[in-house]
Chains A and B, each alone.
Chain A
Amino acid sequence: MTANRSKWRETLPILSLALFGVVWMAPLIWTLLAAFVPTTELLNGSPLVWLQSLHLGAFAEAWEVAPFPRFYLNTIIWVFGLLGLQLVTVSLAGFALARLDFRGKDQIFFLFLTQLMVPATVLILPNYQTLVALGWLDSYQGMMAPYIASAFGTFLMRQAFKQVPKELEEAARSDGANWLQVLWHVFLPVTRAPLIAFSIVSITYHWNEFLWPLLITSSVETRPLTVGLALLVQSSEIGAQWDLLSAGTLIVAAPVLLLLALVQKQFTNSFLSSGIK
C-alpha cells in the first residue's frame, strides 16, 4: 500500500510533465503534417493515407508565391547587422559603466534604466515619426535604429566586466595600454560567455520581430521573413491553403529551431541571463 503510494508519487510528476509536453508539441506536429500532407487528405484521411501522400509541393509553392530567398537575405542583414552594432555599443558602454569613474554616472545609469522599462514596442508611433524626419523609412538602418543602444546588453556586459580582477587591468595599464586596448585585449577575451548569451537573445528576438518592420518596410528589398509570412497569410483571401501557410511558417521558423536544437544549453542560459537587471 505505502510502496504503491510512494511509487505513484514518483511517477505522477513525470507523467504530468510528459502530458504537458505532448500538449505543447501537438500544434507543432500538426503544422509539420499540414505542410507535408495535402489539406484534403489531412482533413479526411487516416494517418496511413497521410504517410502515402507526403510531398514537398507546398514548400515549392510557398517559395514561389512569396520571394522567401530575398526575405531571408533581408532578415540576415538586419538581424546580424544590428547585432554587430550592438556588440560595439554594449561593450563600450558596459565597460565605461563598470570600470571607469566619471561625473554623471548615476544619471546615465538612469537613462539606460528608462529603456529597460519603456520597451521600443510601446514607442512605435513617435519613433516612426522620427524615421520619417530622418528619411529612414523602408531601410535597414531604420529597422535597426531603436535597438542599437541596448540597455539589457549594456547591463549584462557591465555585470561581466565588474567580475574581471582588478590586477589584470592594472598590469595592462602599467604596460602603457590605453583603455580601448585594455577592453579589447584584457576584458573581451574573458567575457565571451555573456557576449554569446546576448547574441543569442538578440538574434532570436529580432529574427522574430514583426510589428516594427511591418510598419516601416514597404518593399521586397527590405521586408524580413515575419512580415512576408504575415502578408502570405493575409493575401490568401481564401484562407483555405493551409499547406501553403504551414510550409511558410516552417520556412520562417526553421533557423531558430535549428539554433535551439544545436545549442539548447547555451540557449537556455542565454535566456536566463536576460533576467539580469
Chain B
Amino acid sequence: MQSQLNAQHTQGEGRGRFARSLWLPSGLNSASAVAYLFLAPSLVFLAVFTIWPIISVVISSFHARRGRNQIFVGLDNFERIASDPFSQQVILNTVGYVALGLVVSVFGGLLLAVLMNQGLRNIGFFRFPFLATIALPMVSVASIWLFLYSPRVGLFNELLGGLGLPRSNWLSDPDLALASLFAVYLWKQLGYFALFYLAALQALADDVLEAATLDGVTFWQKLRHIIWPLVSPTTYFVSTIGVLNSLQQIDHVFVLTQGGPNNASSMALFYVYEQGFKWFKTGIASAMTVILLAVLLTMAMLQFVYLERRVHYD
C-alpha cells in the first residue's frame, strides 16, 4: 500500500502507462478477491473495536469484580440498577435530557434555519456564531460556562443582580443543574441541527415559499403547513442524530457538575465512567452499557423499518 505514494508522478504520462509500483498480486484480479483485500483493514478494526466490544460487554454485564477476579453473578447487576434509586435517577435524567434534546434540536434547529435562510447579504457574518460553537471543543465550552455560571462572580448572576432579579445557584441547585447542563449543550449544538434544515430549505424551490408569502399567510402558518411537511425527511434525520448527540456528549458533566449535586445531573454515560473507571465496578458499568446498546439498536431497527416503508411507498 505504501507504493501509492510513489505513484503520483506517473499520472500525467498518458493512458495505458499505469504506475507499475501500484502492484497487486496477479492472482488477485477477480473482483471479489480484490474487494476483500480492500475491505480487510476496515473489517479488522470493525471486528476488534465495534463487534467484539459489543459481545464482551454483554459477557461482563453478568460478572462482578472481587479483588482481582471476575465472578459470575447472573442478572444481579441489572437487578441492582433497577432497584437502586440513584441508578433510576440516572436513567430518568438521561431519558429527560435526550427527549428534550430531540424536541429542541428539531424545533429550535428548524426555527434558526428559517431565520438564517433569508437571502441576506453577509449572511456568513450572521451564521458565524452558530458555526463557531459547533467547532469549539465541548471541554472549552464547558470551561467558559463554568465562569458564566459561577454563583457570585459569574456573568449570569451579575446580569440578574443588575436587573434586580434573584440570583440562582445554577450548578448546585438540584432543580437547575441538569437544565444548566442542557443549556450548554443547546448553545453548542443548535447550529449543527440548523445546518441540516438550512440545506433542506435551500433545496426547496423558491416559488413554493414565495407563493405562500403572497397569499398573505402568517409566518407561523407558513412554517406549520408548508415548510414543516416539506422538510420531514430532514426532521427524521435530525431527530436521529439529536438522540445520538445528546447521549454521547458528557464532557460538560465532567467539567461543570461531576453529576452533582446529590446525583441530580448524572447521566448514563457519566455513570458508566464513574462506576467503571473510578470505582472499578465493571459489572455494573457493563450492564448500563448494555442498556444503552439495547436502546440504540432498537432505534436502528425502527429506522430500518421506516426506510423500508419509504422505499416501498415513494
Contacts and interface: CB of A to CB of B under 8 A. Distances in A.
B45 to A, nearest CB: 4
Interface stretch (A50-58, A65-73, A100-108, A191-199): A100-108
A111 B51 contact: yes
Contacts of B43: 108, 111, 149
Nearest to A15: B115
Contacts of A119: 244, 248
Interface residues of B, number: 98
Given A88-B41, A181-B7, A210-B139, 11 more contacts: A119-B244, A122-B292, A126-B289, A129-B282, A149-B43, A179-B34, A211-B273, A252-B137, A252-B139, A272-B195, A275-B237
Interface residues of A, number: 102
A25 B130 CA distance: 8
A115 B43 CA distance: 11
Interface string A7-41: 00100011011101100111110110010000000
Contact of A264 (B29, B36, B53, B124): B124
Contacts of B56: 126, 129-130
Contacts of A43: 153, 158
B132 interface: yes
A34 to B, nearest CB: 6
A92 B118 contact: no
B166 interface: no
B232 interface: no
A176 B276 CA distance: 55
B1 A88 contact: yes
Contacts of A171: 15
A246 interface: yes
B52 to A, nearest CB: 7
A145 B139 contact: no
Contact of A122 (B128, B241, B289): B289
A184 B120 CA distance: 42
Contact of B195 (A246, A252, A271): A271
Contact of B255 (A129, A215, A230): A230
Contacts of B289: 122-123, 125-126
Contacts of A219: none
Given A102-B35, A226-B139, A118 B293 contact: yes
Given A102-B35, A257-B136, A211 B42 contact: no
B262 interface: no
A225 B115 CA distance: 35
12 contacts: A27-B148, A30-B147, A43-B153, A101-B31, A154-B42, A177-B18, A180-B24, A180-B34, A208-B135, A215-B277, A229-B137, A264-B127
Contacts of A27: 144-145, 148, 155, 187
Which residue, of A89, A90, A120, has the highest number of chain B Cβ atoms within 10 A? A89
Interface string B122-133: 001011111111
A268 interface: yes
A46 interface: no
B135 A260 contact: yes
A124 interface: yes
A63 interface: no
Interface in B219-265: 219, 237, 241, 244, 247-248, 250-251, 254-255
B176 interface: no
Contact of B60 (A117, A126, A259): A126
A105 B18 CA distance: 29
A13 B219 contact: yes
B162 interface: no
A80 interface: no
Given A34-B147, A121-B248, A28 B7 contact: no
A111 B46 contact: yes
Contacts of B92: none
Which residue, of A97, A121, A210, has the highest number of chain B Cβ atoms within 10 A? A210
B144 A31 contact: yes
Contacts of A114: 46, 50-51, 54
Contact of B38 (A31, A100, A210, A260): A100
B67 interface: no
Interface stretch (B78-86, B99-107, B204-212, B296-304): B296-304
A253 interface: yes
Which residue, of A90, A96, A252, has the highest number of chain B Cβ atoms within 10 A? A96
Nearest to A182: B18
Interface in A80-98: 88-90, 92-93, 95-97
A76 interface: no
Contact of A184 (B22, B46, B131): B22
B272 interface: yes
A156 interface: no
Contacts of A150: 42
